[in-house]
Structure 1
Amino acid sequence: MVMGNSGNLDAAIEKLLNEEKHGRLAGDVAVTRKAVTDILRLCLEARDWKTLNDQIVLLSKRRGQLKQAVTVMVQQAMQYIDETPDIETRIELIKTLNSVSAGKIYVEIERARLVKKLAKIKEEQGLIAEAADLMQEIAVETFGAMAKTEKIAFILEQVRLCLDRQDYVRAQILSRKISTRVFDADASKEKKKPKEGDSVVEEAPADIPSLPELKRMYYELMIRYYSHKNDYLEICRCYKAIYEIPSVKENPAEWIPILRKICWHLVLAPHDPMQSSLLNSTLEDKNLSEIPNFKLLLKQLVTMEVIQWTSLWDAYKNEFENEKNLGKSLGEKAAEDLKERIIEHNIIVVSKYYARITLKRLAELLCLSVQEAEKHLSDMVVSKALVAKIDRPTGIVCFQTAKDSNDILNSWAANLEKLLDLVEKSCHQIHKETMIHKAALKA
């Protein structure tokens, strides 16, 4: 019975191959496409997967094969992938379609989707490195006909696999292919109808997320990347971008944990103009009143007063530990970095109030030993966060910048100019009062 079915299948295929040949040589697209699709359908109905693979290769290699026939063949065979009986058959069919579509620009989108399917199978098998290598072969940013959301989703998948295999350099390179401006683009302003000569953009498949969802996925992947480098300021900016997504802002259950993360990473970030700007803009956020503890924490950082580390840690230790329960923890080094930031803040405060101070007194204000205070001060000077000089024999720290002779002369000249202006104005006022007094006497 099986032999009979096999014989019937071969005879039917042979007949259709003749039809395909006549249609192909005559340049008849409709006949060729119908013959090709019928051959694939017969193979599927007979559940003869080996013949299906063989016919796909054979049809694609026929001399002068029409592009439309290859396209419809690949698209139809892709629908059969989910009907395969086992994983080996599925992989074999995908690999066959991959080899057929390789190097053909008119089926580049189909090839990208096939590679994505194969990479997913490899990942499920635990072969993450193989899956990442497969995905990196495809450069979807050059595909003019692929939908924007599908391109972004594909690149994000490439980034995710690179992060999973801890290839952070390649993950960064791939992430730069996505411009963050694309997430803020107004969909209503985009051109609806392509002009003549433009390539027609295909609709994205139903399983591709929307642009706001892709934005969140992108920034969550970037948080993973920056967490590896402990770049707190960039992590904070990523959380800020997620916080600005409309669907997140409308739901307090979503934005409160994100706002907490923004506050923590702002506190953990080293002091610089960007950090200061973000700190002030976050303090102006009305939603911060919902988490008063964090509002108080940020206010302490912008207030030019020395913060006692022990009292601060006692007040916020539980909140710090709670971050693990609310999702991702802040990292292993976060507690040490927090103490470092508080010391840096205190040194900046001291530098605002003192022109010169002894190292011993500075250490007392920072609640540190003299050696520790000197080390932290030196680190800040090296990183150019502060200008200071230490006279070690006398144990005095000078926060004033050294002026050269030209600067001193310029400041003297400016002071003299101000003094002469003041004398001139005073003389004018005295003269005016005298004239008014004389006029009054004459009257």
Structure 2
Amino acid sequence: MDSGGDLDAKIEVLLNTEKQMRLNGDVAGTKKAVTEILQLCFDARAWKTLNDQIVLLSKRRGQLKQAVTAMVQQAMQYIDQTPDIETKSELIKTLNSVSAGKIYVEIERARLIKILAKIKEEQGNISEAADLMQEVAVETFGAMAKTEKIAFILEQVRLCLDRQDYVRAQILSRKISPRVFDADTSKEKKKAKEGDNVVEEAPADIPSLPELKRIYYELMIRYYSHSNDYLEICRCYKSIYDIPTVKENSAMWIPVLRKICWYLVLAPHDPMQSSLLNSTLEDKNLSEIPHFKLLLKQLITMEVIQWTALWNLFKVEFDNEKNMLGGSLGDKAEENFRERVIEHNILVVSKYYSRITLKRLAELLCLSIQEAEKHLADMVVSKALVAKVDRPMGVVSFQAAKDSNDILNSWAMNLEKLLDLVEKSCHQIHKETMVHKAALKV
């Protein structure tokens, strides 16, 4: 009891000192008084008194901004030294309420909320943690370091993905431009000061920009895996593959390159997929995994692929990728793989034939006539192919319907070619006649 009374007496003396300093506008003196009050409470391990004093000091009339900032920063150092989770949560909530709505302590508030959200997550309250994190719009904080902002937004995205809120995860992820990871950090330091606004240093536990880039794309892979958007997943892995720290270590880039190859194979045929496929085949590192080079080469070679032979060749590799730690190939991947091979085969047939019977097409694809027609129709609907099916005759035509202007243009071209040939023929006949006449005169 004596020690409690002694603490109260010391605090009372310091409160009077703080009042005098504050009324005199002495910034240094006020800051010293408030931090000493908090230090006394902390030394005595009087956590309730500490919380009460923080609230009391922040609400005093005409309290200086610098004093509130110093007080919040001082109290934040005590968070890790609290005896239990309840005391820790109470102290964070007190500091949170004190810093709410105050721009000069917005960074401290963001850090406090991040700590509180982590506690909630550890307790299993992922929804509460996600809601807490979304209260803070760090992208508007001018004084916060760029890496800390990115790390905070990535944490918001991760929590949304953990509670399967994919719409909000996408909205939050758009706050980060992928170009920010390629920025030159050496130039950033020169622009740190803008007027009176000094950009704070990021805390030591914030990852570097290349590491944040990897985390960002891993989260985006989780997002795109939800909708089985294989091409976007492939592009995310390609971005991870291009990180210098990954590319320097073969143990890191080989698994990533394998996934790039698989997702390229699973992605539906379109110009972006073709471009990525060709650029990946040109990569010298692909020679380290020749099995995958063979797979990609088969997809760009204009020859019909035998599905059963291909599946027997790559089934073990495919299953390994699915079962590997961190492997994100979906349950429908095998079915999608077969669909891609069928699509490739239909495109090959369309290159070589202008017209083909459905029966012959089904034979080439190793499918029933109904399945072949279904896959062909799906490709026409997705505009990957131009084709017409004459069902009564059972004939497929791969020739595109021509516009009336195109038909007229082709006629004009044909007439021009015909007249050109007639003119050349007349010229040759005239030449032969002249030569013959000259020979007769001799």
2: distance between equivalents of 1:318 and 1:137? 47
Q: Report the secondary structure of 1:357's partner residue.
A: strand
- Asked if structure 1 preserves the Cα contact closer than 8 Å seen for 2:221 and 2:233, the reply is yes
| 1:27 paired residue number | 25
Q: Report the secondary structure of 1:190's partner residue.
A: helix
| 1:343 paired residue number | 342
1: distance between equivalents of 2:99 and 2:231? 44
Give TM-score scaled by structure 2 length: 0.96
Amino acid at match of 1:263: C
Summarize deviations over 1:218-248 as a string: whole Å, max 9, x none. Answer: 0000000000010000000000000000010
Cα offset, 1:409, TM superposition: 2.0
| 1:142 paired residue number | 140
Amino acid at match of 1:92: E
2: distance between equivalents of 1:421 and 1:209? 72
The yes-or-no answer on 1:332 pairing with 2:331 is yes
| 2:118 paired residue number | 120
Distance 1:441 1:17, change over 3 A: farther
Amino acid at match of 2:338: K
Distance 1:199 1:423, change over 3 A: farther
| 1:281 paired residue number | 279
Match of 1:236 among 207, 223, 234: 234
Cα offset, 1:197, TM superposition: 1.9
1: distance between equivalents of 2:177 and 2:393? 55
Distance 1:16 1:213, change over 3 A: same
Identical-residue share of aligned pairs (%) = 85
2: distance between equivalents of 1:188 and 1:432? 77
- Asked if structure 1 preserves the Cα contact closer than 8 Å seen for 2:225 and 2:328, the reply is no
- Asked if structure 2 preserves the Cα contact closer than 8 Å seen for 1:257 and 1:326, the reply is no
Summarize deviations over 1:328-379 as a string: whole Å, max 9, x none. Answer: 1411010000001000111111111111111111100000001111111111
Cα offset, 1:199, TM superposition: 1.6
Cα offset, 1:438, TM superposition: 10
1: distance between equivalents of 2:390 and 2:152? 59
- Asked if structure 1 preserves the Cα contact closer than 8 Å seen for 2:193 and 2:199, the reply is no
Structure 1 runs of 4+ aligned residues shifted over 6 Å read 429-443
1: distance between equivalents of 2:209 and 2:429? 73
Distance 1:410 1:23, change over 3 A: same
2: distance between equivalents of 1:396 and 1:262? 38
Amino acid at match of 1:322: N
2: distance between equivalents of 1:434 and 1:161? 91
- Asked if structure 2 preserves the Cα contact closer than 8 Å seen for 1:219 and 1:242, the reply is yes
Amino acid at match of 1:258: V
Amino acid at match of 1:400: Q
2: distance between equivalents of 1:405 and 1:230? 41
Distance 1:153 1:125, change over 3 A: same
1: distance between equivalents of 2:223 and 2:118? 21
Distance 1:186 1:427, change over 3 A: farther
Amino acid at match of 1:300: Q
| 1:413 paired residue number | 412
| 1:163 paired residue number | 161
Correspondence 1:260-339 to 2 at 5 A: 260-323=258-321, 324-325=323-324, 327-339=326-338
Match of 1:154 among 152, 155, 158: 152
Give TM-score scaled by structure 1 length: 0.96
| 1:355 paired residue number | 354
1: distance between equivalents of 2:428 and 2:72? 95
Unaligned 5+ runs, structure 2:
none
| 1:16 paired residue number | 14
1: distance between equivalents of 2:440 and 2:46? 126
The yes-or-no answer on 1:79 pairing with 2:77 is yes
1: distance between equivalents of 2:196 and 2:5? 48
| 1:43 paired residue number | 41
How many residues get paired?
Answer: 441
Summarize deviations over 1:164-212 as a string: whole Å, max 9, x none. Answer: 0000000000000000000011122335155552521000000000000
| 1:370 paired residue number | 369
Cα offset, 1:91, TM superposition: 0.1
Unaligned 5+ runs, structure 1:
none
| 2:91 paired residue number | 93
Distance 1:413 1:193, change over 3 A: closer
Distance 1:143 1:430, change over 3 A: farther
2: distance between equivalents of 1:75 and 1:439? 111
Bigger CA drift: 20-29 or 399-408? 399-408
Amino acid at match of 1:110: E
Distance 1:436 1:10, change over 3 A: farther
- Asked if structure 2 preserves the Cα contact closer than 8 Å seen for 1:388 and 1:400, the reply is yes
Amino acid at match of 1:250: E
| 1:52 paired residue number | 50
2: distance between equivalents of 1:387 and 1:243? 36
Cα offset, 1:421, TM superposition: 3.3
Amino acid at match of 1:247: T
2: distance between equivalents of 1:395 and 1:130? 60
Distance 1:435 1:148, change over 3 A: farther
| 2:378 paired residue number | 379
Summarize deviations over 1:13-32 as a string: whole Å, max 9, x none. Answer: 00000110011111100000
Cα offset, 1:424, TM superposition: 4.0
Cα offset, 1:434, TM superposition: 8.6
- Asked if structure 2 preserves the Cα contact closer than 8 Å seen for 1:159 and 1:174, the reply is yes
Q: CA RMSD in A?
A: 2.0
Distance 1:329 1:140, change over 3 A: closer
Distance 1:30 1:405, change over 3 A: closer
Distance 1:139 1:440, change over 3 A: farther
Cα offset, 1:276, TM superposition: 0.5
Bigger CA drift: 61-70 or 389-398? 389-398
Amino acid at match of 2:285: N
Q: Report the secondary structure of 1:373's partner residue.
A: helix
Cα offset, 1:439, TM superposition: 10
Q: Report the secondary structure of 2:198's partner residue.
A: coil
Amino acid at match of 2:95: L
1: distance between equivalents of 2:373 and 2:165? 38
Cα offset, 1:128, TM superposition: 0.4
Distance 1:223 1:329, change over 3 A: closer
2: distance between equivalents of 1:329 and 1:406? 50
1: distance between equivalents of 2:439 and 2:60? 118
Summarize deviations over 1:239-292 as a string: whole Å, max 9, x none. Answer: 000000001001111100000000000000000000000000000000001111
